[in-house]
Amino acid sequence: MPGTVTLHRVLRAPSERIYRAFLDPEAMAKWLPPHGFTGKVHEMDARVGGGYRMSFTNFGTGSSHSFGGTYLELVPGEKLRYNDQFDNPGLPGVMEVTVTLKSVMCGTEVHIVQQGIPDVIPVEFCYLGWQESLTLLAQLVEPNIPDNA
């Protein structure tokens, strides 16, 4: 039965900056790949009905896997919903990711739900990968660096 991962974080950054990090190809390549992987965004059409394609490469072994999806719902600064599908036929099915952003006094609450994780992928691996990615996301969006720095 396909798995589900649910995550919650509070980041010290405005919701608009976090939202942008999910839709900017260079930002995604920097924060989304978990530790030990590099990422490349091959295409991105960040609009409802548009899609993206990217790949993760294991830095140690050089092996990579590619995946892509379609944007189902985009509410600037508040919500992203998209689906994901691996190109590898051994990882069947379509996953759906919902990211909800809520401004709070100290930044933004981030809620992420990933559903439909293929049976062959242990859910705890996905959970661990998301935790690593969210650490990298925080490192990207939390600094408030002036333009003249």
Instruction: Give the C-alpha distances (Å, rounded to integers) separating 113 from 6, 33, 82, 122, 134.
Output: 4, 17, 11, 16, 13
For 27, the domain range is 3-141
The answer as to whether 148 is a domain residue is no
Per-residue confidence (pLDDT) for residue 67, from 0 to 100: 96
Query: Would you say residue 147 lies in a domain?
Result: no
| CB count in 10 Å sphere of residue 135 | 13
**C-alpha angle with apex 142: 139 to 145, nearest 5 degrees?**
105
Q: Provide the domain count of the chain.
A: 1
Cβ–Cβ < 8 Å for 67, 50? no
Q: Is the pLDDT of residue 13 over 90?
A: yes
Residue 62 lies inside a defined structural domain of this protein: yes
Q: What is the pLDDT of residues 28-51, one digit of tens each?
A: 999 999 999 999 999 999 999 999
What mean pLDDT is reported for the chain?
95
What CATH number is attached to the domain comprising 109? Answer: 3.30.530.20
Confidence of residue 149 (pLDDT cuts 50, 70, 90): low
Span 75-110, pLDDT tens digits: 999 999 999 999 998 888 899 999 999 999 999 999
Query: What is the C-alpha end-to-end distance of the chain, expressed in Å?
Result: 50
